[in-house]
Amino acid sequence: MLVIVAPGQGAQSPGFLTPWLEDRTFASRFHWLSTVAGLDLVHHGTESDAETIRDTQVAQPLLVATGLVAALELFPHPADAFSQIGAVAGHSVGELTAAAGARVITAEQAMVLVRERGKAMAEAAAATPTGMTAVLGGDRDEVLAAIDKHGLTAANDNGPGQVVAAGTLEQLEALAADPPAKARLTQLSVAGAFHTEHMAPAVGHLAGLARSVSVHDPRTPVVSNRDGTVVHDGRDVLARIVGQIASPVRWDLCMETMADLGVTGILEMPPAGTLTGIAKRALKGVETFSLKTPDQLDDARAFVDKHGEASPIDTTPTWRMVVSPAKGTFHQSEDAFGRDVLAPGALIGEVETSRARSEIVAPHGGQVVEWLVEDGDIVSPGQPLLRLHPEGAA
């Protein structure tokens, strides 16, 4: 099973876009997304120095545009992707790339949102001197305790031995003076404390814009940064992306879900390397592919063919599926059992995992066609639970 992942801010490097722009089709599409974003992303991806592309307002649109156009190079016939990709996920701003790739939003909507996201996060970062520090190694519990002791937030939890602390510069200096045992601290070159309460003003701005964005349910399961669950409601996907600006990225839980899904191959979109590096350490036995330059495209397509298989979600427009968000035990709601019609937002049950119980609703409602599981069944992430026919559909 193949998972496509998109990196977040920090993956960019000076000139990384140069070989891609030698392809006329890529260049034309990239110019279009640059126009939508209102930025000269071609210049930033080829000529700008490291300090310039570190700017949140530049880095985020640059990353999203690159991932989206490279995906069209990898899958010249986009419909083919849905018969091969088992799930998608993006780290931080990469979630916008993943959402557009899953057809939750359009590429143009993604570029408007990332433009505004970058601006709002830069403004929030300017309000208070904040930053981020990677804490590498050490005992996990001791690392998290040290981060909490100094009033910091574990803004990125990327798996064993890779936690990023974020907060004010004073708090980070205190952590540096009193680090957890056997841990190495590295200050990150970012503009502020992303994925913490310091970004709350940016959430409000983007939430207001998101209310006017039309969405579709994803064609491919989307694994959420918030808690690693599989999300199959378009509005929920977008809401989670907005809220994620000020809440921690749980990439460790995303990888747990990938393992539960039965992933055999992970392909990272350009500028690649960060997420596949993490996967090599955390998901032993899973093959990875870092798509960095266009001369790798043939090998990347061979990798897709080797690992690709369709997700279990039925994408026939006349049906709607309600799917499981995680691996666990399904408990059916007594109110939903035996009903012929479910109202929008009706609770159909819960999935009990080792961490929590997650409520499952039928976002759109509709006529019950068939239950695909029974009370007490063990379910996997993204597994269809209930098939509905939208009320009023022909």
Catalytic residue ranges? 92, 195
Helix (H, G, I), strand (E, B) or coil at 334: coil
Phi, psi of 97 (to 5 degrees): -60, -45
- What is the Cα Rg of the chain in Å? 21
Phi, psi of 353 (to 5 degrees): -110, 180
Q: Are 231 and 99 in contact (CB under 8 A)?
A: no
Token pair belonging to 200: 């709350």
Q: Are 337 and 349 in contact (CB under 8 A)?
A: no
Q: Which residues pair with 351 in a beta bridge?
A: 330, 358
Q: Are 53 and 127 in contact (CB under 8 A)?
A: no
| 188-223 b/e (C-beta count within 10 Å ≥ 16 → b) | bebbbbbbbebbeebbebbeeebeebebebbbbbbb
**Among candidates 28, 65, 25, which has minimal Cα distance to 45?**
65
Helix (H, G, I), strand (E, B) or coil at 149: helix
Token pair belonging to 268: 């990272």
Contacts of 233 (CB under 8 A, 6+ apart): 217, 363
User: Could you give the CA distance from residue 51 to residue 65 in angstroms, rounded to a whole number?
Assistant: 19
Residue type, 281: R
SS (H, E, C) 66-89: HHHHHHHHHCCCHHHHCCCCCEEE
User: Could you give the CA distance from residue 11 to residue 2 in angstroms, rounded to a whole number?
Assistant: 22
DSSP string for 97-129: HHHHHTTSS-HHHHHHHHHHHHHHHHHHHHHS-
Q: Which residues pair with 267 in a beta bridge?
A: 4, 289
Residue type, 217: D
